[in-house]
């Protein structure tokens, strides 16, 4: 393949897309999988460019980063870097998601969406440090991830260009495997059936493709690699205590643990009890409707616990208002607009509210369910004496209730009369 072959190299349609003739040194976001391994060779061939690889550890389980690094160098990368970003991911991204009770649609806790802006930010830093002019990623032209990564790069580094080979190279899976064999790229496992398309990190795991695309097909067992199927989960329930400070979980069963480790531990406990499976139909930002199977046990436990505590320390008015902001926050993050000022504006409000979200919540886990069973907080806007049915007194006088009801219902009563009396 010759340099700047117009049939395979993309013709720029956006300002940040690379002009093939000026691509010299490329920072490739490398996972070690088939797509990005083929890409590592293909960029060297098609662009005649040097490649520097970056792999970001966001807590995806079972990854051997030394193996990935070695593979990159063997396939011709000039440099290969692995960044452990788990702590930053937890502190700057997941803690905010927790304070905003972040769920998109009817159940997606946004783990991939939260990871992409951080991965792209780290790619920008590494590209600058390694003297690259272009960043390459392995996203397709149909998903949300291209939006998240490219919007981040274009925002943070207007001087860098982007290439997305999967969008342009027109290789299907079979052609990729043939290309890999031809170029000495190891292809692991059976190649007959396409695998699920997986993305995972500390906060959850998603699977797409194969039978998942058939909406009438119920989940098959082999898709679940994190969470025990609820029917096989222990017959005994388990209750865990999550302690929050200023909206962020800081202790599990009374023991203080750093956020990364706390999430890992809650993931393991929840997974054992079958908690966190979501079979989700999703409205992608690029217009498609797609089905995902999610396994996100930590999110399925921590988010409801946080929300419960937040409701307890907030007034009725705050509780009416915040879900609308939470929803907007989740939408912005889903849509790849992490760097949009409205997102940090909403964070400021969430921080303000969460300054009082401290206390402990007990969550019972049993065969796929996570249920809040106890809560305590010194900031609770709750007075057991006032809430009980006992005699009135103090701040609450039952004899004031009829007057309240008369005035509170006044406009509604007048309007009803107008509509129902001639």
Work out how close the CB of 179 gets to ligand ARG at its nearest, in angstroms, rounded to a whole number. Answer: 20
Interface residues for ligand ARG in 259-278 (CB under 6 A)? none
Residue 104 or residue 366: which is nearer to ligand ARG going by CB? 104
Least Cβ distance, residue 185 to ligand ARG (angstroms): 20
Contact 218, 245 (CB under 8 A): no
- Cβ closest to ligand ARG, residue 266 vs residue 278: 278
Question: In terms of C-beta distances under 8 Å and separation of at least 24 residues, what long-range contacts does 60-67 make, across chains too?
Answer: 60/200, 60/201, 60/202, 61/200, 61/226, 63/32, 67/32
Which residue lies nearer to ligand ARG by CB, 9 or 120?
Answer: 120
Residue with smaller CB distance to ligand ARG, 117 or 249: 117
**Could you tell me if 56 and 118 are in contact, meaning their C-beta atoms sit under 8 angstroms apart?**
yes
Which member of 35, 69, 176, 292 binds ligand ARG (CB under 6 A)?
292
Q: In the range 103-162, which residues lie near ligand ARG by CB under 6 A?
A: 112-113, 144
Shortest reach from residue 252's CB to ligand ARG, in Å? 27
Cβ closest to ligand ARG, residue 8 vs residue 198: 198
Minimum gap (Å) between residue 337 Cβ and ligand ARG? 13
Number of residues that bind ligand ARG (CB under 6 A): 10
In the region spanning residues 188 to 207, those forming contacts with ligand ARG, defined by CB under 6 A, are 197-199, 206
Nearer to ligand ARG, 72 or 147 (CB): 147
Task: Count the neighbouring beta carbons within 10 Å of the beta carbon of residue 41.
Answer: 18
- Rounded to a whole number of angstroms, the minimum distance from the CB of residue 6 to ligand ARG is 29
In angstroms, rounded to a whole number, what is the distance separating the alpha carbons of residues 305 and 307? Answer: 6
Cα–Cα distance measured from residue 12 to residue 18, given in angstroms and rounded to the nearest whole number: 6
Identity of the residue, 63 or 208, whose beta carbon is nearer to ligand ARG in the bound complex: 208
Q: Min. distance of Cβ 104 from ligand ARG in angstroms?
A: 8
Task: Tell me whether residue 204 or residue 247 sits nearer to ligand ARG (CB atom).
Answer: 204
How many Å separate Cα 347 from the centre of its chain? 16
Pairing of strands 204-208, 197-201: antiparallel
Asked if residue 293 binds ligand ARG (CB under 6 A), the reply is: no
- In angstroms, give the least distance from the CB of 209 to ligand ARG: 8
User: 271 is written with which tokens?
Assistant: 């997974």
Active site residues: 35, 116, 145, 197
With contact defined as beta carbons under 8 Å apart, do 53 and 81 qualify?
Answer: yes
Phi/psi for 32 (5° steps) reads 90, -5
Among 17, 79, 176, 282, binds ligand ARG (CB under 6 A): 282
Looking at the Cβ atoms of 114 and 313, the one nearer to ligand ARG is 114
Smallest distance, Å, CB 265 to ligand ARG? 24
The residue among 90, 98, 84 whose CA lies nearest residue 257 is 90
**193-228 as b/e, with b when 16 or more CB fall inside 10 Å?**
eeebbebbbbbbbbbbebebeeeeeeeeeebbebbb
Minimum CB–partner distance for residue 159 and ligand ARG (Å): 28
What character string, x for contact with ligand ARG (CB under 6 A) and - otherwise, covers 217-256?
----------------------------------------
Q: Given the rule CB under 6 A, which residues bind ligand ARG?
A: 112-113, 144, 197-199, 206, 208, 282, 292
């Amino acid at each position: 393949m010759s340099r700047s072959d117009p049939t395979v190299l993309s013709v720029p349609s956006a300002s940040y897309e690379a002009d093939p003739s000026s691509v010299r040194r490329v920072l490739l976001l490398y996972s070690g999988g088939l797509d990005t391994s083929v890409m590592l060779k293909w960029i060297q061939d098609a662009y005649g460019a040097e490649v520097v690889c970056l792999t970001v550890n966001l807590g995806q389980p079972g990854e051997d980063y030394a193996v990935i690094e070695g593979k990159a160098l063997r396939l011709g990368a000039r440099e290969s870097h692995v960044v452990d970003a788990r702590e930053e991911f937890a502190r700057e991204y997941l803690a905010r998601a927790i304070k905003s009770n972040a769920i998109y649609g009817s159940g997606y806790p946004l783990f991939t969406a939260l990871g992409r802006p951080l991965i792209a930010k780290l790619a920008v830093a590494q590209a600058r440090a390694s003297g690259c002019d272009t960043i390459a990623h392995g996203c397709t032209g149909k998903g949300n991830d291209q939006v998240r990564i490219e919007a981040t790069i274009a925002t943070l580094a207007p001087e860098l260009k982007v290439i997305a080979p999967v969008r342009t190279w027109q290789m299907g899976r079979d052609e990729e495997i043939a290309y890999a064999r031809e170029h000495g790229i190891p292809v692991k496992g059976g190649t007959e059936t396409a695998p699920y398309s997986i993305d995972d990190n500390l906060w959850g795991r998603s699977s797409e493709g194969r039978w998942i695309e058939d909406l009438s097909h119920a989940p098959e067992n082999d898709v679940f690699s994190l969470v025990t199927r609820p029917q096989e989960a222990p017959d005994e329930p388990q209750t865990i205590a999550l302690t929050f400070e200023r909206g962020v979980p800081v202790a599990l069963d009374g023991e203080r643990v750093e956020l990364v480790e706390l999430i890992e531990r809650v993931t393991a406990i929840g997974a054992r009890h079958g908690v966190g499976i979501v079979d989700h139909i999703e409205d992608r930002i690029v217009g498609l409707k797609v089905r995902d199977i999610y396994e996100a046990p930590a999110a399925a436990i921590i988010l409801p616990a946080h929300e419960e505590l937040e409701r307890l320390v907030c007034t009725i008015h705050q509780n009416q208002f915040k879900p609308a902001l939470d929803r907007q926050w989740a939408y912005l993050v889903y849509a790849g607009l992490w760097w949009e000022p409205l997102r940090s504006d909403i964070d400021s409000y969430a921080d303000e509210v969460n300054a009082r979200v401290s206390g402990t919540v007990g969550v019972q886990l049993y065969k796929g369910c996570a249920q809040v069973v106890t809560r305590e907080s010194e900031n609770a806007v709750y007075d057991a004496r006032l809430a009980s049915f006992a005699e009135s007194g103090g701040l609450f006088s039952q004899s004031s209730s009829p007057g309240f009801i008369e005035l509170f219902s006044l406009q509604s009563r007048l309007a009803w009369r107008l509509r129902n009396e001639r």
